[in-house]
A and B are shown apart, each in its own frame.
Chain A
């Protein structure tokens, strides 16, 4: 969606539930947000199917559909979207500046909601066979594994959700987890344990991904006794957690050791840079839910609005003369 405007009272980077909720609230506050929504617009929910825990949808809603509706709702109130990744930011402001290649966007206040991305195992075979048996998106690629055997690596909710989903296609799904118990929620565990197609390899990691043209198996290492064995499978789905998307911001705003943006005075979403706010999974390594991201996105919008008011921004002003 093209826009002629490149400056706004509020600039938002990221378009998952946090960014889109911030866009909705700032748009309704007449702050004419511009959202750099990124090449992976919609964020991690675009990789899911049924979302069963977003309040207000008693029979569930598809992740991409939920994100489509959030975007539509923000757009209805005047949020503008740039469908490209920010390639550089400059947080010495206000105004705060972000670039998409050589196009510069500025915001008097900035909301960072760039989320997190799935971690990979970091094995040579994993990269080699990405898209040829190694997948990071069960909902996208499960279809191609009809009547085949798979492994899912991980022990959290997303791992079990993927394993459960993949049993629609696969004859057997083995969950490989490095501990002897799962981190996943009770309801997901119950569902997985009750599924006859799901098996477990406890206290184990994937030592390598094996293949020829495509994946033919994984080499598993038992962490207790160090023994290794090969499990013949056609596909490997990785769900071992997330890492925040903060490469753009390093050195310009305080990050914690794991790379998440620090908001030093919660519940405020203010970061170490005055006028820069952060919300959603880029901050949150505790809850990481769509609804908590939306909640903090709302908080960031209100924080930004109040900050702008305190700094003399008249929200009735047109977008051209706020400077």
Chain B
């Protein structure tokens, strides 16, 4: 996978960037992680980290973004939410075999404990995570 910026298939999409309401731009409750920071910010984190694999062009990712903010709010200190843009950070996405977004992956102590694929209601996400984050 080589997302060279020059021949990027979503160039048309990127032209529109900033025109639409983008709930991820002003994200305050979820930290952005990258290929470079994933190991330190996620794998070595002392608290569980829910990684949100997303991309600008993905509508369902935007659907769940505010839900994740709420979940982050309600689990302060127990759970960190990290957003990984798969377009800009293809290495981590490839390393974990992400083939569909949104994908939510819960990491505890550097190990992936749970993976949720696709947009789903908040209660489903919380239920799926509950055994790990109390």
A interface with B by C-beta (< 8 Å): 1, 39-42, 45-50, 62-65, 67-69, 71-72, 83-85, 101, 130-133, 135-137, 139-146, 168-169, 213-214, 235
Contact = CB atoms under 8 A, between A and B. Distances in A.
Contact of A46 (B21, B63, B93, B117): B63
Contact of B99 (A71, A84, A131, A136): A131
7 contacts: A39-B63, A39-B120, A40-B119, A65-B16, A83-B67, A84-B121, A141-B101
B17 to A, nearest CB: 10
Given A39-B122, A136-B118, 15 more contacts: A39-B120, A42-B59, A42-B63, A46-B60, A47-B59, A68-B21, A101-B123, A137-B100, A139-B57, A140-B55, A140-B59, A143-B55, A143-B86, A146-B2, A235-B99
A131 B21 CA distance: 27
B66 A83 contact: yes
A48 B67 CA distance: 21
Contacts of A131: 99-100, 103, 117-118
B9 A39 contact: no
A236 to B, nearest CB: 11
B12 interface: yes
A235 B119 CA distance: 19
Contacts of B43: none
B13 interface: yes
Sorted from nearest, which 9 A-B pairs have the closest CB atoms? Answer: A46-B59, A131-B117, A65-B20, A39-B121, A131-B100, A168-B9, A64-B59, A68-B21, A140-B58
B61 interface: yes
A41 B86 contact: no
A65 B19 contact: yes
SS of B interface (majority): loop
Given A39-B121, A50-B12, A68-B21, A144 B59 contact: no
B57 A40 contact: no
Contacts of B29: none
Contacts of B19: 65
A45 B122 CA distance: 21
A137 B102 CA distance: 10
B62 A64 contact: yes
Given A47-B59, A72-B21, A62 B13 contact: yes
B91 interface: no
A321 B58 CA distance: 42
Contacts of B13: 49, 62
Contacts of B117: 130-131
A311 to B, nearest CB: 33
Given A49-B13, A169-B9, A41 B100 contact: no
A48 B62 CA distance: 13
Contacts of B59: 42, 45-48, 63-64, 67, 137, 139-140
A174 B95 CA distance: 28
Nearest to A85: B121
A145 B98 CA distance: 11
A72 B23 CA distance: 13
B36 interface: no
B60 A69 contact: no
B87 interface: yes
